Structure 1
Amino acid sequence: MRPGIQHLRRVEGLALRRSIHAKRNVHMSKIQNASVASLPPAAASPSHMVSRPSSIPQVSALDRIPTSSVLRSYLITSISSSPPLLSACFAILRRMLDSKSTLMNIDKNRLLNWLLKTTFYAQFCAGETQKEVQQNTTAAKTNLGYDGIILEFALEVLEGEGGEATADGEATERAIEIWRKGMLETVQMTSPGDFIGLKWSGLGPYALRLLKEQRDPTPSMERAILEACDAAAAKKVALLPGAEEEVTNAGIDQWTLKLQQRYNKAELGRVIMYSTYQAYLKSTPAKLGRHLALAQKDGYILGVKLVRGAYLASEPRHLIWSTKEETDKCYDALAESLLKRKYSEVVQPVHGSEAFPHIDVVLATHNHESVRKAQAIRNEQASRGEELVRLAYAQLQGMADEISCELVQAGEAQDAGNTDAPRVFKCMTWGTTTECLNYLLRRAAENRDAASRTEDTRKAMGKELWRRAKTVAGLE
């Protein structure tokens, strides 16, 4: 990568952030905020919080979110953080979606459609039409201050649906065309610098079979994939394929690394295609080491999206770390190696090579402590004037808003010469109410353990509602 390119990125990003927040007239550069991104490196842990002068009012990081959205988040996270309530809610929504009754059909019953669209749909989704999506994503950037969005098409084709999984059957070709059109529409709805989420299995049952057998996509699939990638590259939008169950991940890696080599040219200075790495798998550190070596050898920028992983209920237990603490430790160690661009005891070089490739990183996490640790590393690097890895933080829309808003608020208060201004992205789905609810239910069923980990957000939203109530009553 050319010298100074990371500095230019930082300057460009800061200029955009200042422009956005100048329009909103909510710049907080004088606020002494104790959030993770504004802490000096030595004080980045919760036990070393910065004291605030009593003359400066404390501004809640969640203050930028409308009260109606805070209340909706509190109610929905109260459901999702309670396993009995979550299971009951799943059952009710599934019955609605499967019902043949006009009264229970959410596409025909306007009242039911409105109820769902103003609750679950509004919490997690971006819109049904291009106009709705652009309105909501623009609001996420200008009103809430996010740097961008990760947009994902809701409609997908799964194993056992739409006919027999054959290489040249009508069902396979139909699934490919649905995926192709959906991806191209999604590219149209995004802006330069945004991300697009995708699932390779959305290409249909035969694609899922190919992934499990570690075989290349069919010619029709490859044409659709390259068309989507070319469109994203032309618009300077990056693609984030999701990891799935381990039985398919080797095939997914095979597809994505070929595309990384094709699109992530070092001379272009940015990543178009990423790969996703799940920290709860014991094999991930070694796999990441191999992929880093390949990127260094072949001269491309490795795109790394780091997640904890969510298929706890379906993965063989011997593949996964025994405890959450081990997964957390692995995640933080992987993030540290990536941000410092240094091999470690966890991420070891292949064949003894110490050369570390250029990388772009997305830390997709709802874990507050992991964000704090990562941003402490970034602040220390910035204070020393080091060149920084291109980094984005990502959280799902409607989840972990307390983390996202804290990062945004802290970024507004930063002097970019001394500390890092974090880039924050929200992941949201677009499609009809029925498509999105089907999508959300499938993801929640796959990630049931992760879906219930919303207790921190519930508490944060409850605290924010209480703060606002006291303000209205004149008690604060």
Structure 2
Amino acid sequence: MRTWSKLIVTYTKPLVAKLTKPRTYTHTEASQSVSKAYITPVTPKEAFGDLATRDLLRGLVSLALARTPGVATYGGKFLESIHRSGPRILKDFVDGIVRRTVFGHFCAGETLDECERNTQHLRRLGVKCLFDYAAEREPGTVLSEEDLRKEEAAKEYAAELEIETIRRACQLGKGDFACIKITALAVIEHLEKLNAMIIKDWKKSADKEASIRGYSVDPELSFDFEKLEIFKSHFSDEELRILRNDVFRIQRLCALAAESRVPILIDAEHYCLQDAIEYIAMGMQKRYNTPQESYVFTTIQCYLKDSERREKLVTRIAEQFGFRLGLKLVRGAYLHYEREYASQRNIESPVWNTIEETHRSYNTIASREIARVSQGKTSLILATHNLESIRNAIKNIEQLNMRHDNEHFHFGQLYSMADATTASLRKAGFQVVKYIPFGPLEEVIPYLSRRLLENQDILGSTSVDMSYFYKELMRRITRK
């Protein structure tokens, strides 16, 4: 056995070294060489000792596939095409491969029961889970009456699943989170209209710095759409009825989250919808957040050129109404879409031109909001795989004499990515949460396609994961 172990190590090591070699991209989070002085190192056994060997092997295969430019660029489109018009036998064959590789690695399962089983190793490390039914929709679709009826059923299904997610998180009693995408719960065409209306209203403002997008539309953020003339001039009565029902559906989930003490995160999405999403999110925060607790969170994407303005506006709303701001900070998840969308319409791209500008925006906002956490004004999730941002955040925390286990501050990473970083942060005593996507394969294909494409932008961290997977496999083979 020892001889075979040596042979396996000898012949696989060069291949894995090549696969795990860090690669640099134009907009990558992990393209910089950063000191790990502020992160407690972990061994492969500490990070992955609880994972089954088949999961380690699947991780190596899936990340190797994700690092392949052709697969990343065209894999998602191929999947969508097969599901849309491919023969059943081909669809079943492809689905079988995808379930055993990238879906099995990047998603925690198709059901909540599968999620619960597949996240037990994270719980043993003391990592919290942020459950997300990963169905999402792209803007630009105009629905017929028949489509709207089908959409209504899909929205109700998503809402019922989210209710079960909140209840399950509450029962687990581990301080877990829930997450919703507004596009899974509301008609996108109406969100686009609301977004355009908010921007148009904002542009009329004499003092744009003092004006809050959405706030001037509805000063109390009360969603009494029928009582506001501006809504009547942009929406038909039927559209207002559907919009009101969609917002009420979202409100029902936020109310349950607050009652169950399970914080719910409203995800950021496409730029052409984001003002509408933030308008709804801040209205929900006004209702359910208190001066002491944040039960509803909004998300700011720092790859947007106006991210700092957005951060200042949401903090102003929180101060105006006297509640604790709930904020998740991300770099952004729709980079390729936003650039293509802007190029097709010959408009300026809303995202920064360089990764350095995104890093600067992220770290600046993070520093400001960490200070607000120390003042009792913000509950913050820093969602990042970037070691420099993590190091800067820890430095700020220590300068402010904040406890590592402050319940209003969390680091966050994606499921099955940057797992070594997650384990290291947890070992150092920080609160850490993993974003746990789940759902039927057909529903999460848009998420999976985006994840494959985005991985070209964060492969610096996946090379570390692959190295850890390999070392843990070798440890088991050689029985060290």
TM-score (norm 1): 0.72
Q: Which residue of 2 aligns with 1:8?
A: none
In the alignment, which of 267, 283, 290 is matched to residue 258 of structure 1?
283
Structure 1 pair 325–65 and aligned structure 2 pair: CA distance change class (3 A): farther
Q: Which residue of 2 aligns with 1:39?
A: none
After TM superposition, give the deviation of residue 318 of structure 1 in Å.
4.9
Q: Is the 8 A contact 2:76 2:448 kept in 1?
A: no
In the alignment, which of 313, 324, 335 is matched to residue 301 of structure 1?
324
User: Superposed, which structure 2 residues align to 1:264-279 within 5 Å?
Assistant: 264-266=289-291, 269-279=292-302
Q: Which residue of 2 aligns with 1:222?
A: 247
Q: Is the 8 A contact 2:141 2:188 kept in 1?
A: yes
After TM superposition, give the deviation of residue 246 of structure 1 in Å.
2.3
2:99 counterpart of 1:85: no
Q: Which residue of 2 aligns with 1:197?
A: 179
Higher relative contact order (CA 8 A, sep 6+): 2
After TM superposition, give the deviation of residue 99 of structure 1 in Å.
4.2
Q: Which residue of 2 aligns with 1:430?
A: 438
Structure 1 pair 294–165 and aligned structure 2 pair: CA distance change class (3 A): farther
Q: Aligned partners of 1:468 and 1:280: how far apart in 2?
A: 35
Gaps of 5+ in 2: 1-33, 199-222, 224-239, 343-347
2:462 counterpart of 1:458: yes
Deviations 1:94-131 (A, max 9, x none): 3432344231233xx6xx54433222222122223342
2:417 counterpart of 1:399: yes
AA aligned to 2:282 is L
Q: Aligned partners of 2:111 and 2:476: how far apart in 1?
A: 37
After TM superposition, give the deviation of residue 326 of structure 1 in Å.
1.5
Q: Aligned partners of 2:105 and 2:154: how far apart in 1?
A: 28
After TM superposition, give the deviation of residue 375 of structure 1 in Å.
1.9
Q: Which portions of structure 1, spanning 4 or more consecutive aligned residues, are displaced by more than 6 angstroms? A: 49-52, 384-387
Q: Aligned partners of 2:133 and 2:70: how far apart in 1?
A: 29
Q: Is the 8 A contact 1:305 1:364 kept in 2?
A: yes
2:209 counterpart of 1:209: no
Q: Aligned partners of 2:363 and 2:254: how far apart in 1?
A: 31
Q: Aligned partners of 1:196 and 1:51: how far apart in 2?
A: 28
Q: Which residue of 2 aligns with 1:46?
A: 35
Structure 1 pair 378–64 and aligned structure 2 pair: CA distance change class (3 A): farther
After TM superposition, give the deviation of residue 175 of structure 1 in Å.
4.3
2:144 counterpart of 1:164: yes
User: Superposed, which structure 2 residues align to 1:312-327 within 5 Å?
Assistant: 312-313=335-336, 314-315=338-339, 316=342, 317-327=348-358
Q: Aligned partners of 1:158 and 1:465: how far apart in 2?
A: 34
TM-score (norm 2): 0.72
Q: Is the 8 A contact 1:201 1:207 kept in 2?
A: no
Q: Give the aligned length.
A: 392
Q: Which residue of 2 aligns with 1:30?
A: none
Q: Is the 8 A contact 1:146 1:426 kept in 2?
A: no
After TM superposition, give the deviation of residue 46 of structure 1 in Å.
1.3
After TM superposition, give the deviation of residue 236 of structure 1 in Å.
1.3
Structure 1 pair 220–373 and aligned structure 2 pair: CA distance change class (3 A): same
In the alignment, which of 440, 444, 457 is matched to residue 448 of structure 2?
440
After TM superposition, give the deviation of residue 260 of structure 1 in Å.
0.5
In the alignment, which of 278, 281, 305 is matched to residue 282 of structure 1?
305
Q: Is the 8 A contact 2:373 2:380 kept in 1?
A: no
Gaps of 5+ in 1: 1-44, 344-355, 412-420
The alignment-based identity, stated in percent, is 23
After TM superposition, give the deviation of residue 387 of structure 1 in Å.
10
After TM superposition, give the deviation of residue 456 of structure 1 in Å.
2.3
User: Superposed, which structure 2 residues align to 1:342-421 within 5 Å?
Assistant: 358-382=377-401, 390-408=408-426, 410-411=427-428, 421=429
Q: Which residue of 2 aligns with 1:151?
A: 131
After TM superposition, give the deviation of residue 324 of structure 1 in Å.
0.6
In the alignment, which of 117, 128, 138 is matched to residue 110 of structure 2?
128
Q: Aligned partners of 1:310 and 1:387: how far apart in 2?
A: 28
Q: Aligned partners of 1:190 and 1:307: how far apart in 2?
A: 23
Aligned with 2:400: secondary structure?
A: helix
AA aligned to 2:372 is R
Deviations 1:319-362 (A, max 9, x none): 3333111210111111111112299xxxxxxxxxxxx7711001
Q: Is the 8 A contact 1:198 1:242 kept in 2?
A: yes
Deviation larger for 189-198 or 278-287? 189-198
AA aligned to 1:151 is F
After TM superposition, give the deviation of residue 88 of structure 1 in Å.
4.2
AA aligned to 2:246 is M
After TM superposition, give the deviation of residue 288 of structure 1 in Å.
1.2
Q: Aligned partners of 1:274 and 1:47: how far apart in 2?
A: 30
Structure 1 pair 70–212 and aligned structure 2 pair: CA distance change class (3 A): same
Structure 1 pair 461–71 and aligned structure 2 pair: CA distance change class (3 A): farther
Q: Aligned partners of 1:390 and 1:97: how far apart in 2?
A: 42
Aligned with 2:272: secondary structure?
A: helix
Q: Aligned partners of 2:445 and 2:193: how far apart in 1?
A: 27
Root-mean-square deviation (Å): 3.4
Whose helix proportion is higher, 1 or 2? Answer: 2
Q: Which residue of 2 aligns with 1:64?
A: 49
Q: Which residue of 1 aligns with 2:17?
A: none
Q: Aligned partners of 2:37 and 2:376: how far apart in 1?
A: 34
After TM superposition, give the deviation of residue 162 of structure 1 in Å.
8.9
Q: Aligned partners of 1:470 and 1:132: how far apart in 2?
A: 28
Q: Aligned partners of 1:291 and 1:124: how far apart in 2?
A: 31
Q: Is the 8 A contact 1:157 1:175 kept in 2?
A: no
Q: Is the 8 A contact 1:278 1:308 kept in 2?
A: yes
Aligned with 1:422: secondary structure?
A: coil
After TM superposition, give the deviation of residue 49 of structure 1 in Å.
7.8
AA aligned to 2:47 is L
Q: Aligned partners of 1:207 and 1:258: how far apart in 2?
A: 17
Q: Is the 8 A contact 1:133 1:189 kept in 2?
A: no
Q: Is the 8 A contact 1:397 1:428 kept in 2?
A: yes
Q: Aligned partners of 1:50 and 1:360: how far apart in 2?
A: 22
